[in-house]
Structure 1
Amino acid sequence: MDRPMPSPRMVLFAVLGTVVYLGPAVLGWGGFGAFFAHPARIALVAVTVVLTVASLFSGGNISPGEREDRGNRWVLAVFTVLGLLGAYVPAWTDRTELWTLDGDTMRWIGVVIFALGGVLRLWPVFVLGRLFSGLVAIQPGHRLVTDGIYGVIRNPSYLGLMIGALGWALAFRSAIGVVLALLNLLPLVARIRAEERLLADQFGAEYEAYRGRTWRLVPGVC
């Protein structure tokens, strides 16, 4: 699948998104000097930057395509609020030692989980390329992808999002951050249901058969 080079607009969007996400964390930890005083937090930023750069070459987009469920856009606002809280609060609780978990071991476990979640989040985007949109939409030439990781679970990128959010919270040893990460499940389930309705309407029996032999999010669970 041909993948266009990232446009200046995409690069700007990615840079601003990264700054908006990392900025509250730096603020929560009391500034650049305090934040970057620990190697685990440096590693967390490095992983974030690498994932952001990789995402520019995935082929994904935020196009409404040929058909979009606009009624689901509220989910994006909820994700934004939870994302900003999830960026700031864990860093703040880490600095103030409020409801923290374990010590440095937990930080590094969190960094690893965050990285694994980020890879799982991006892997399906690379598989789908231009068919992947940040909106609930049918793209031109849309087809069902049912092999590889999609042969097991239907929403691997969303599983990666949850794992990444959990890893971020653990990298700051934050019990409150874990709760905020889990709250993402509420808009996520709404998003998944909207996508599945749209795909079922678009592909009919083909999608129903696919849904009958795969898991929605976690193999063996749901």
Structure 2
Amino acid sequence: MTPTSGLAALTVVGTLAYLGLAVLGAGGLAAFFSHPARIALTIVLFALSGAALFSGGNLSPGEREDRANRWVITAFGVIGLLAAYLPAYTERKGVWILDGDAVRWLGVGLFAAGGALRIWPVFVLGRRFSGLVAIQPGHRLVTSGVYSVIRHPSYLGLLVNALGWALAFRSGIGVLLTALLVPPLLVRIHAEEKLLRDQFDSGYEAYCRRTWRLIPGLY
């Protein structure tokens, strides 16, 4: 798929702003790139952003949208800005740091794995994947692949990705910020599931009975 110009610009600007805040928090380019884990983190960030450009996702309200849920996007944005800056800043200042280089590399691995899980469902759904809680034209229920196990793999990827970013800076505050993503995420999940129940009726109910929302065996 080819990216739309608006979404492509948003992705590029968002990625550069996110990295820029981290560099600022770390105390500059030299300080940020002084550790190989942060270099690897940057490479993964650009690779994921590049892949996202061709995923086919959009921000369309589609045929029907739950507009009351849009506040969640603002919450994600605020937490995201804090998560971009504070982990690098607190590492530089030595505030609530998790010790050891192994934590950094674990973070890089989780950031990559979570990012891949975040983007993969967007490729699967294509134009039916919207950043808004909405029913798209030609919307159909996908129940195969990763969706045969969990109903919201992209959101699980978001949490793993955010946790990986925090750990790459060994930041306890970053881990806390990841936890703060959970309440608005659950609100969004419930809003999406209500919309899908209204759209697909008993088919979605049957699908819910045989799958998990986020974590198999737990939730």
Relative to the length of structure 1, the TM-score reads 0.97
Q: Which amino acid aligns with 2:88?
A: A
Give the total of aligned pairs.
219
Secondary structure in 1 matching 2:41:
helix
Q: Distance in 2 between matches of 1:196 and 1:20?
A: 32
1:179 and 2:176 are equivalent in the alignment: yes
Stretches of 4+ moved more than 3 A in 1? none
Q: Say which of 77, 80, 83 aligns to 2:74.
A: 77
Q: For residues 71-150 of structure 1, what are the structure 2 equivalents within 5 Å?
A: 71-150=68-147
1:61 and 2:72 are equivalent in the alignment: no
Q: What's the offset of the Cα at 1:10?
A: 2.4
Q: Match for residue 204 of structure 1?
A: 201
Q: Which amino acid aligns with 1:149?
A: V
Q: What's the offset of the Cα at 1:99?
A: 1.0
User: Identity across aligned pairs (percent)?
Assistant: 65
- Listed one character per residue, the Cα deviations across residues 63-114 of structure 1 (whole Å, up to 9, x for unaligned) are 1011100000000000000001111111011111111112211111100110
Secondary structure in 2 matching 1:154:
coil
Secondary structure in 1 matching 2:190:
helix
Q: Distance in 2 between matches of 1:160 and 1:137?
A: 20
Q: For residues 38-49 of structure 1, what are the structure 2 equivalents within 5 Å?
A: 38-49=35-46
The RMSD of aligned alpha carbons is 0.8
Q: What's the offset of the Cα at 1:11?
A: 2.0
1:216 and 2:213 are equivalent in the alignment: yes
**Structure 2 stretches lacking a partner, 5+ long:** none
Relative to the length of structure 2, the TM-score reads 0.98
Q: Which amino acid aligns with 1:81?
A: V
Q: Match for residue 151 of structure 1?
A: 148
Q: Which amino acid aligns with 2:128?
A: L
Secondary structure in 2 matching 1:190:
helix
1:28 and 2:25 are equivalent in the alignment: yes
Secondary structure in 2 matching 1:15:
helix
Q: Distance in 1 between matches of 2:146 and 2:182?
A: 21
Q: For residues 155-174 of structure 1, what are the structure 2 equivalents within 5 Å?
A: 155-174=152-171
